[in-house]
Amino acid sequence: MTICPKCGLAKELCVCAALEKEKEKITVSEVPKRYGKMVTLVKGIGEDANAKDVLKELKTRLACGGTFKEGMIELQGSHTDRVKSILIRMGYAAEQIEVG
């Protein structure tokens, strides 16, 4: 039986990940890059391991390229509305996600 280093409970009973998701304020926005290409930025996804899992899911669902750098997710293309719906399906609350 493994024990969570944060809360001291067994991994099966640990709710640290769910609590971290509830605290986060996520911002989804678009910015133009070189040659007029649009990039969707997702800021506010917590720890690196969690953010990389979210990035992988977003890239798969949106069929686009992307990266995680400087604490934010960058996705190629204009995907703000679809990113919000995917994040809601992944367990994030709609009140946490701000599209702008």
Task: Convert the pLDDT of each residue in 7-64 to its tens digit.
Answer: 788 877 777 766 766 667 899 999 999 898 999 999 988 766 678 899 999 999 999 9
Q: Which domains does the chain have, with CATH numbers?
A: 24-99 (3.30.780.10)
Q: So what's the pLDDT on residue 49? A: 67
The pTM assigned to this predicted structure is 0.76
Instruction: Please compute Rg for the chain using Cα positions.
Output: 15
Show the tokens assigned to 23.
């605290």
The contacts found for 45-51 with CB under 8 angstroms, 24 or more apart, are 45/72, 45/73, 46/20, 46/21, 47/20, 50/17, 50/20
